[in-house]
Amino acid sequence: MKTPLIFDASVKGRGAAALPASGVPEPAALPANMTRRNEAILPELSELDVVRHFTNLSRKNFSVDTHFYPLGSCTMKYNIKSCERAAAMPGFNDLHPFYTYLPGGSQEVSGALEMIYDFERILSEICGMDGFTCQPMAGAHGEYAGIRMIEAYHKAKGNNKKYVIVPDTSHGTNPASAAMAGYEVITIPSLPDGSMDIDALKSAITSEAAAIMMTCPNTLGLFETGVREISEIAHSHDALMYYDGANLNAILGKVRPGDIGFDVVHINVHKTFGTPHGGGGPGAGPVGVKSVLLPYLPLPKIVKGADGSFSVITDDADSIGKMAPFFGNFGVLVKAYTYTLLLGKEGLIDVAEKAVLNANYIMEKLKPYYDLPYDRRCMHECVFSASAQGKHGVSALDIAKFLIDREIHPPTVYFPLIVKEAMMVEPTETESKETIDGFIGIMIEAARLAETDPAILKNSPVHASIGRPDETKAARQIDVKMNCGL
Amino acid sequence: MRNSYTPHTEQDVKSMLDTIGVGSIEELFSPIPRELRVKSFNLAPGLSEFDALNKMQSLSARNNTQDVQFMGGGFYDHFIPATADALASRGDFYTAYTPYQPEASQGTLQALYEYQTSVCNLFGMDVSNASLYDGGTALAEAVLMAFRATRNRDTVLIDANVNPLYRDIVKSYLSPLGFKIKEIASNDYQLNRKELISAIDEQVASVVLQNPNFFGTVDDYTDIADASHSKGALMILSAYPLSLGLLKSPGEMNADIATAEGQSLGLPLSFGGPYLGILTANEKYIRSMPGRIVGRTVDKDGNDAFVLTLQPREQHIRREKATSNICSNQGLCALRALIYMSLIGRGGLKELSKTIYDKTQYAKKALAGIKSLKIPETPCFNEFVIELPGDAGQFRDALSKKGISAGIPLGTFYPAMKNRLLVAVTEKRTREEIDALAAAIREAVL
């Protein structure tokens, strides 16, 4: 059913929330040139109208709370409710951030500082790093902060560095983050088995390489077994190793980036530590570094004194400066920290084990029905190709849309870019065998329909709130807001 | 106690391992060479939900959220309607992902389209993206966007009255790229117009201003927009959303890009985040914009449908040539802001802006009555500076003992302003609380 746009549902003069009264004498007005001429048009609805509008919109979403969501690389695991409760505690939720910059302000926020400090310590142990910052507000923001620290390191050493190396399986954010830090980007191809081509790396790398950015396991869900050699090659050119933590959830308690040669790591807390994705955010992207990079951590940073008290450093000439005004997305960090408390050592190891178990089970069960371009033991996700179904005119997109009709969120499609008709499945550890078997059954049904009745796939979805949208029209006839009569 | 939130029974594990054809879960990790395995994983055991929440409760209790809050500095203690919390806590919103599959995400997509519409109306601008991280990074992204949009220019002019935290973030973002930043020194809490206008030349990509500025001063920058445009530069204006029920909008001043910290639109202070980066612009710059944008189109049956659009600007398509590395937005925060704007509504916004303005003027007047205080005459909206007869930090500490957080001592950011305090008022501050602030300051300065 169509939910009218909120401005279409508005009735002039209607209103919702009752506001606190002014209760003070009428002051002198501002000079006329400083005040608004044309009133801002906002919706006009009763509180019940607003509640119905958004409740109805919410029901047009697939979400982890309502649907299986095997969106590869995005790690749609269950978001533990008690983490939400922790973040909503008034002592966190209502805390003004400016205490950060007050002389003596640390004492007013000692609980918050201790939490961040302890989280940084836990993350350092999980990743095998020497220090962490919680400032970055998303994974890509963490990449940027990490590359900036690498840049500061090279600058301090007088190194002449011009480019950053990424594999062709990398997330788009890696080259984009490197470019924002002023670096050129060199892309290294993958071998037929899905791992980085080390010979190609050897011939590409020179003393002008600032860093190699890798995801491990990579975006094919495969562990880069040559990572030690790659890091030795990098370090022999004084290039640093950057670990994109998008897939850290697969190796918790099994491998630590810091033990295998990485100098910088960012974590997507929504992937590894189960914070909700919020329909696109907010996330948080803490960054860990080895000791050589500690001087460059962004500001402000928290230190623990000999007496156990916490204080904030707001000024430091070596630091790359501020990436965020305070300590990043604090409310998200509270949830991630609570998650680590709840799971503890054994629980975190269990995360990796069950995620890998679920993914390998799906890979094994669907192998007879879909091409598996990299037929190796996978980690937490597996990448199929719909190219066999292509013979019947069916694409990965058609299968994705069919899944929507069957009330399952589609896998990531068309990524990684090196796999034709890619379908990247990541079940996560929180899904049960029954849910996964249900998904497998529907995927098998899709494969059969591709042979017997492809039109069903090509015409889906038919049960969703809309049919397939015309994306070309969206890009050509740009309509990014309603005309509200202005 | 085992507490891992994984549902597998022993039987499940066994039958799945049988299917895979391995004898143990450990075998699944066999592709990882032995020598690469963890050297240490020294973490505490998991806690029960009860124990974990108790620990969080005790940490949260050690933070001062009790004082009556007069600190602002761009982050304000506003009232949040219960409805905003209830709706934004719906699992179908907050446990969804970025809306890559439009047929499974119309709720999020339509809401973001409505967010874009509301924000454009509020700021008087043509187009908005679907949000960025926060007000500071939104300003930095706006400065980068202006360099892209103007091409071959290398300088940005920034008014020193812009929030110092934001100026620091802009500096951080620009430092590796070879662009120049020229700061225009403050002139008694106001823009030094003469100096700014004479500094605008053909190398200037953008001029960055804030309204009300960090010191609370309200201004009309239409003349600066004209001066910028005459040299081909863009004007970027950072604004405070809840002032826009009363103050001239960025669009009415002919700003080319307007940014904001959206925290005041129904987001909790939460010690600095998650917040909401608002970025709006003149339509002609839409293809230089960073971040996600939602567009309206039709589905195959001709019905309204909402999708992520103009994606070729973005990193997952353009990689190193993208307009930004941004991958996420602050989807849930944008949703919250939309819900808040819908609840406050058109009439409520005007009323709320007026209430904040009235209470602030009342506070200013009450404090101006104290003999040894000096308060500048510059027009203000929700925040103003008071000049004390001694160290502002010490006055603040004295008032904190009485349960009043009196404001932000400015010496941290402006060493010459050691004796000055920045005082902010929201609709939550009652006349009695303001009177108590005045009484406490009167007592402290004696």
Smallest Cβ–Cβ distance between A466 and the set B252, B305, B400 belongs to B305
DSSP A157: H
Smallest CA-to-CA distance from A338 within A87, A128, A111 is with A87
Which residues, at least 6 apart from A249, have a Cβ–Cβ distance to it below 8 Å? A75, A77, A271, A272, A351, A352, A355, A380, A428, A429
Chain B, nearest residue to A184 by Cα:
B320
Chain B, nearest residue to A410 by Cα:
B101
Q: Does B114 touch chain A (CB under 8 A)?
A: yes
CA distance B422 to B392: 9
pLDDT recorded at residue B2 = 56
Q: Tell me the CA distances in angstroms from A9 to A483, B49, B108, B401, one per residue in order.
A: 14, 42, 18, 50
The two structure tokens encoding residue A70: 């095997």
DSSP letters for A314-346: ---TTS--BSSSSSSSHHHHHHHHHHHHHHHHH
The CB density around residue B221, as the number of other CB atoms within 10 Å, is 25
Smallest Cβ–Cβ distance between B12 and the set A44, A277, A433 belongs to A433
Determine contact, residues A58/B94, Cβ cutoff 8 Å.
no
**B431/A283 touch (CB, cutoff 8 Å), yes or no:** no
**A99/B64 touch (CB, cutoff 8 Å), yes or no:** yes
**B41/A126 touch (CB, cutoff 8 Å), yes or no:** yes
**B270/A92 touch (CB, cutoff 8 Å), yes or no:** yes
Q: Does B432 touch chain A (CB under 8 A)?
A: no
Which residues, at least 6 apart from B146, have a Cβ–Cβ distance to it below 8 Å? B156, B205, B206, B233, B234, B236, B256, B257
DSSP A109: B
Instruction: Give, in degrees to the nearest 5, the angle at Cα A321 between A320 and A325.
Output: 145
- Backbone φ, ψ for residue B206 (5° rounding): -155, 160
Q: Tell me the CA distances in angstroms from A37 to B117, B239, B246, B432, one per residue in order.
A: 19, 16, 9, 33
The two structure tokens encoding residue A411: 């896998």
DSSP letters for B207-244: EEEEES-TT-B----HHHHHHHHHTTPEEEEEE-GGGG
Which residues, at least 6 apart from B296, have a Cβ–Cβ distance to it below 8 Å? A474, A479, A480, B113, B304, B305, B306
Smallest Cβ–Cβ distance between A323 and the set B105, B172, B301 belongs to B172
The CB density around residue A423, as the number of other CB atoms within 10 Å, is 28
The CB density around residue A323, as the number of other CB atoms within 10 Å, is 27
pLDDT recorded at residue B144 = 96
Bridge-based pairing state of the strands B180-184 and B304-308: unpaired
Please give the model's pTM, rounded to 2 decimal places: 0.97
Residue A409 backbone zone (phi > 0: left; psi -120 to 50: alpha; other: beta):
beta
CA distance B290 to B281: 11
Smallest Cβ–Cβ distance between B297 and the set A27, A322, A471 belongs to A471
The CB density around residue A387, as the number of other CB atoms within 10 Å, is 16
Residue A289: beta bridge partners? A131, A264
Q: How far is A220 from chain B (nearest CA, A)?
A: 14
Instruction: Give, in degrees to the nearest 5, the angle at Cα A460 between A454 and A464.
Output: 160
**B92/A65 touch (CB, cutoff 8 Å), yes or no:** yes
Determine contact, residues A383/A134, Cβ cutoff 8 Å.
no
E strand or H helix at B139, and its extent? helix B135-150
* Sheet with strand A287-289: strands edge to edge: A131-133, A287-289, A264-266, A240-244, A209-215, A163-167, A184-188
Residue A244 backbone zone (phi > 0: left; psi -120 to 50: alpha; other: beta):
beta
**A278/B93 touch (CB, cutoff 8 Å), yes or no:** yes
Mutate to test the interface with B, among A96, A186, A379, A430 (most CBs of B within 10 A): A96
The two structure tokens encoding residue B109: 């997509």
Strand ranges, E, within A64-138: 131-133
Chain A hits for B38, CB-CB cut-off 8 Å, are 128, 253-256, 259
Smallest Cβ–Cβ distance between A254 and the set B38, B53, B124 belongs to B38
Which residues, at least 6 apart from A107, have a Cβ–Cβ distance to it below 8 Å? A309
Local mean pLDDT, 10-residue blocks, chain A (486 residues): 92 87 94 96 97 98 98 95 98 98 94 98 98 96 96 97 93 91 93 92 97 93 92 98 96 97 97 96 97 97 95 94 96 98 97 98 98 94 97 97 98 92 97 98 98 97 96 93 80
CA distance B82 to B93: 17
Smallest Cβ–Cβ distance between B111 and the set A57, A82, A412 belongs to A57
Chain B hits for A151, CB-CB cut-off 8 Å, are 176
Q: How far is B339 from chain A (nearest CA, A)?
A: 8
- Backbone φ, ψ for residue B307 (5° rounding): -140, 160
The two structure tokens encoding residue B343: 């609840």
Smallest CA-to-CA distance from A447 within A439, A128, B362 is with A439
Which residues, at least 6 apart from B242, have a Cβ–Cβ distance to it below 8 Å? B76, B78, B264, B265, B349, B352, B353, B356, B382
Strand ranges, E, within A163-203: 163-167, 184-188
Q: Does B287 touch chain A (CB under 8 A)?
A: no
Determine contact, residues B174/B156, Cβ cutoff 8 Å.
yes
Chain A hits for B328, CB-CB cut-off 8 Å, are 138-140, 280-283
Chain A hits for B310, CB-CB cut-off 8 Å, are 475, 478
Q: How many residues does chain B have?
A: 446
Strand ranges, E, within A168-253: 184-188, 209-215, 240-244
The two structure tokens encoding residue B280: 């709006």
Q: How far is A388 from chain B (nearest CA, A)?
A: 23
Determine contact, residues A263/A256, Cβ cutoff 8 Å.
no
Bridge-based pairing state of the strands B304-308 and B383-387: unpaired
Local confidence pLDDT in tens for the 446 residues of chain B:
455 799 999 999 999 999 999 999 999 999 999 999 999 999 999 999 999 999 999 999 999 999 999 999 999 999 999 999 999 999 999 999 999 999 999 999 999 999 999 999 999 999 999 999 999 999 999 999 999 999 999 999 999 999 999 999 999 999 999 999 999 999 999 999 999 999 999 999 999 999 999 999 999 999 999 999 999 999 999 999 999 999 999 999 999 999 999 999 999 999 999 999 999 999 999 999 999 999 999 999 999 999 999 888 877 878 888 888 888 789 999 999 999 999 999 999 999 999 999 999 999 999 999 999 999 999 999 999 999 999 999 999 999 999 999 999 999 899 999 999 999 999 999 999 999 999 999 999 87
DSSP letters for B51-68: HHHHHHHHHHTTB---SE
Q: How far is A24 from chain B (nearest CA, A)?
A: 6
Determine contact, residues B374/B399, Cβ cutoff 8 Å.
no
Chain A hits for B17, CB-CB cut-off 8 Å, are 357
Which residues, at least 6 apart from B286, have a Cβ–Cβ distance to it below 8 Å? A478, A480, B126, B127, B293, B310
CA distance A10 to A15: 9
* Residue pairs spanning A and B at CB distance below 8 A: 711
Q: In this predicted model, what pLDDT tens digit does every residue of B3-21 receive, in sequence order? A: 579 999 999 999 999 999 9
**B172/A278 touch (CB, cutoff 8 Å), yes or no:** no
**B359/A24 touch (CB, cutoff 8 Å), yes or no:** yes
Q: How far is B337 from chain A (nearest CA, A)?
A: 12
Q: How far is B387 from chain A (nearest CA, A)?
A: 17
At which residue do the structure tokens 């906002």 appear? A42
Chain B hits for A322, CB-CB cut-off 8 Å, are 136, 165, 168-169, 172
Model ipTM value: 0.97
Q: Does B415 touch chain A (CB under 8 A)?
A: no
Chain B hits for A468, CB-CB cut-off 8 Å, are 103, 299-300
pLDDT recorded at residue B1 = 44
First to last CA, chain B: 60
Chain B, nearest residue to A364 by Cα:
B20
Smallest CA-to-CA distance from A304 within A130, A92, A105, A110 is with A110
Which residues, at least 6 apart from B18, have a Cβ–Cβ distance to it below 8 Å? none
Q: Could you say which residues from 236 to 265 on chain B have a Cβ atom under 8 Å away from some Cβ of chain A?
A: 244-249, 252
Q: How far is B278 from chain A (nearest CA, A)?
A: 14
Determine contact, residues B247/B220, Cβ cutoff 8 Å.
no
Chain A hits for B405, CB-CB cut-off 8 Å, are 96
- Backbone φ, ψ for residue A200 (5° rounding): -65, -35
Determine contact, residues B389/B372, Cβ cutoff 8 Å.
yes
Determine contact, residues A167/A198, Cβ cutoff 8 Å.
no
Bridge-based pairing state of the strands A209-215 and A240-244: parallel
